[in-house]
Amino acid sequence: MSDKAKAKQRIEELRTEIEAHNRLYYIDAKPDITDREYDQLLQSLEELERKFPEFESPTSPTQRVGGAPLENFESARHAVPMMSLSNTYSKEELVEFDHRIRKLIPEESFAYILEPKIDGVAISLRYENGELVRAVTRGDGTTGDDVTANIRTIHSIPLRLSDLMPPAVLEVRGEIYMDTAGFAKLNQQRQDAGQEPFANPRNACAGSLKQLDPREVAKRPLDAIFYATGKLDGISFETHEQMLQTLKGYGLRITPNYWLCQTIEEILDQLDVLENMRHEFPFEMDGGVIKVNERRLYEPLGYTAKSPRWAVAYKYEPEQAETTLRAISIQVGRTGVLTPVAELVPVLLAGSTVRRATLHNEDEIRRKDIKIGDKVIIEKAGEIIPAVVRVGTEKRTGEEVDFTMPTTCPVCGSDVEKREGEVALRCINLQCPAQVKNWIAHYASRGAMDINGLGEALVEQLVDSGLVKNPAELYSLKKVEVLGLERMGEKSADNLIKGIAESKQRPFDRVLFGLGIRHVGKGAATILANEFKTIDALMKADLQRLETIRDIGSIVGKSVVDYFQAPDALAVIAQLREAGVNFKQADTGGSDELEGLTFVLTGSLETMTREEGGDKIRTRGGKVSSSVSKNTSYLVAGENAGSKLEKAEELGVTVLNEEQFIALLGSDEKRKDQKAGQMGFGF
């Protein structure tokens, strides 16, 4: 045998041996060698791979340290949509859930599975012939970010399945999380380095997965648990429990505890057991997930528009904690609204340290009688956003101080005002740095100008450096200026400049939405763009004219008139015009053909998102509603249409499938050849 053949054989032996030890350590919790012995094996493999680079492999254990930084994340479409679960806090509703299921399948017998609900970041992994080829975040359920490079750094996730004959395709869904001990250590390291600590493990996990440098991700204490499947080819499962055990056999980590129950009464009892174990898990756990065990019943039970009928999440009541409100600070938003924020003596709540909580507005402070120095009870709304629930007035010492909202903006020092009929105070300076940052981020967002690569962190740098003072100044940015910003490389700079230039051709309705006119959302922007066709015509419209437009009304109309009378706004529009931004709505060739018709869209469409479908309706004069009623003209039903479809059929509303909808649009819309695989869900 040649030296090269011997090296290849030894490399494969080492990879197999190291992966076996990874499984013993991370999955089975039964390591049988020391850390030093493991490091020696890994070092031997690294040396051989350096000497024989032709045998390098993306599934080698040496690849977990992370490769070169990424320029950006590519979008990836899920072969099978990742749906969410319906939630309940009531055991009575769980009994009703059981009654609904038994009514739908009265002749069937079945069991339930109860699993802990992990508060992490949903992920979908795709294995082809046993090798990990892609990892995608949930995103909007249809499309997510390809974070494969980052996921490869997580040691508990196998790069190759532990099976000699793996299925052709196995998509597994689960949760990426940061264990509580690792989270505490990471936050201490950040504080020691003078950095802002993460709010909670879930935020830290989400932030880690968004890192463009996999080498940084490799330093984070991330882990994963899997509990569902997506597309399958070459494998099937009779029960959920069988699926879990098969995933475990492949080397994928599953929940450390689950309960097989024959009745809903058993589930209710075990939920109490699970709650008592709440802080025993290495991850944040905020409830239990109940699923029908027999997978053959999933299709007969069906789905609503957003979730399956055969599963539900039961969430425990948020934990509360008492602390002292030591100060109240002010945040300034995109439209200049001043929001009071409670600065708290740090307190541990639901597994994380809470230092701040929202107070919403001055009226809320008055209603709850909140004073600086008060003992307050806080909880995490949805286990995410801390909020002050009540004040311990009985514990007051007399040293507490009333809070008064500022009369000037804390960011720029300009005057603030309270408009008639509103509770919020607003900074009147459109050039306030806080407003500018939020405005530019809104302008660049996906629903508006969709400028690739222009995220919040980059917006912060652009404004703080003085390069950009409003959205129009984005178009005068030079590559050399962008290259001077932190963590900005040649390719990233090129992509940003290109993305900004491409945004000039966005439809006028998206430009109008991006301007950030108060009360003008995406729907109103489309209506106005279709009605007036150009920004010049819109600028000339008076309130009386605007009030005559269906679905606009006096509030939106007055906001539009006020906006176009503001000198600062007119200056920005002039700059955008000079930069070549599109201020004219394209002729759709029949913009009134759907006038007077109301549509509701439900389910998953193959050739477009529901938002895109709504845009097509509005550009043809139609109206889009979120709920079905007797006034609905058409229901457009994609895959997994649920309760809205049922209601439409009850009311006799005409139902269109996607092909019929495209035909009704009267355009040359082409159907894409996209066939969904076997249905599966990530929760």
Residue-level pLDDT at 194: 47
61 vs 345, residue with greater confidence: 345
Q: Residue 524: what pLDDT? A: 84
pLDDT tens digits, one per residue of 153-180: 998 899 999 877 899 999 999 999 988 7
Helix (H, G, I), strand (E, B) or coil at 105: coil
Rounded CA-CA distance 526/512 in Å is: 8
According to DSSP, the residues that pair with 323 across neighbouring strands are 376
Q: Are 411 and 337 in contact (CB under 8 A)?
A: no
HSE value, Cβ hemisphere, 13 Å, CA-based, for 163: 19
Structure tokens at 239: 């029960």
Domains and CATH numbers, the chain: 3-65 (1.10.287.610), 87-315 (3.30.470.30), 320-395 (2.40.50.140), 449-505 (1.10.150.20), 508-579 (1.10.150.20), 598-665 (3.40.50.10190)
- Given a contact cutoff of 8 angstroms between Cβ atoms, the answer to whether 676 and 76 are in contact is no
Q: What is the pLDDT of residue 488?
A: 85
412 Cβ contact partners less than 8 Å away, ≥ 6 residues apart: 427, 429, 431, 432, 433, 434
Here the tokens at position 514 are: 């991006």
| Digit-coded pLDDT (tens) for 288-321 | 999 999 999 999 999 887 789 999 999 887 778 9
Most confident of 68-72, 104-108, 435-439: 104-108
The answer to which of 238-247, 557-566, 636-645 has the lowest mean pLDDT is 636-645
Tens digits of residue pLDDT in 444-482: 987 789 898 898 889 989 998 999 999 999 999 999 999
Higher pLDDT, 8 or 346: 346
Q: What's the whole-number mean pLDDT along residues 76-80?
A: 90
Tell me what percent of the residues of the chain surpass a pLDDT of 70: 90
Give pTM, 2 decimals: 0.51
pLDDT band at 189 (very low <50, low <70, confident <90, very high): low
Rounded CA gap, 641 and 636, in Å?
9
Chain-centre distance of CA 337, in angstroms? Answer: 25
Partners of 376 in the β-ladder: 323, 391
Integer Cα distance of 116 and 285 in angstroms: 6
Structure tokens at 182: 């690792």
Query: Please, what is the average pLDDT of the chain?
Result: 85
Cα Rg for the chain, rounded, in angstroms? Answer: 28
Confidence of residue 668 (pLDDT cuts 50, 70, 90): very low
Q: Is the pLDDT of residue 372 over 60?
A: yes
Q: Please say if the pLDDT value at position 223 is more than 50.
A: yes
Contact 528, 538 (CB under 8 A): yes
Listed in sequence order, the residues at least 6 apart from 283 whose beta carbon sits closer than 8 Å to its beta carbon are 118, 119, 120, 175, 177, 178, 179, 180, 201, 223, 225
d(CA 363, CA 369): 10
Q: Residue 600 in 3-state DSSP?
A: strand
What 8-state DSSP symbol labels residue 303? Answer: B
Q: What is the pLDDT of residues 516-539, one digit of tens each?
A: 888 888 778 888 998 899 999 999
Tokens of 420: 């008639």
Structure tokens at 402: 């009333």
Is pLDDT of 589 > 60?
no
pLDDT at 620: 79
pLDDT at 140 over 90: no
> Quick one: pLDDT at residue 363?
84
Query: Which pLDDT does position 196 carry in this prediction?
Result: 55
Residue-wise pLDDT tens digits, 495-518: 999 999 999 999 999 999 999 888
Give the pLDDT confidence score for residue 48 in this predicted structure.
Answer: 85
CB 624 within 8 A of CB 601: yes
Among all residues, which ones are annotated catalytic?
Answer: 117
Give dist(CA 229, CA 243) in Å, integer.
8
Is the pLDDT confidence value at 139 over 50?
yes
Q: Looking at residue 176, what is its pLDDT?
A: 95
Dist CA 489 CA 71 (whole Å)? 8
Residues whose CB is less than 8 angstroms from the CB of residue 377 and which lie 6 or more positions away in sequence, other chains included: 320, 321, 322, 388, 389, 390, 391, 392
What number of other Cβ atoms are within 10 A of residue 100's Cβ?
Answer: 12
CB neighbour burial string for 24-48, b if at least 16 within 10 angstroms, e if fewer: ebbbeeeeeeeeeebeebbeebeeb
The amino acid sitting at 602 is T
Cα 31 to Cα 26, 130, 159, distances in angstroms: 8, 24, 19
The pLDDT value given to residue 679: 32
Report which of residues 22 and 411 the model is more confident about: 411
Q: For the segment 245-274, what is each residue's pLDDT rounded down to a tens digit?
A: 999 999 999 999 999 999 999 999 999 999
Contacts of 188 by beta carbon, 8 Å cutoff, 6+ apart? none
Q: What gap in Å lies between CA 576 and CA 574, rounded to an integer?
A: 5
Least confident of 218-232, 373-387, 550-564, 565-579: 373-387
Mapped to the 3 state alphabet, what secondary structure does 465-497 carry?
CCCCCCHHHHHHCCHHHHHCCCCCCHHHHHHHH
Q: Are 649 and 629 in contact (CB under 8 A)?
A: no
Residue 682 has pLDDT above 70, yes or no: no
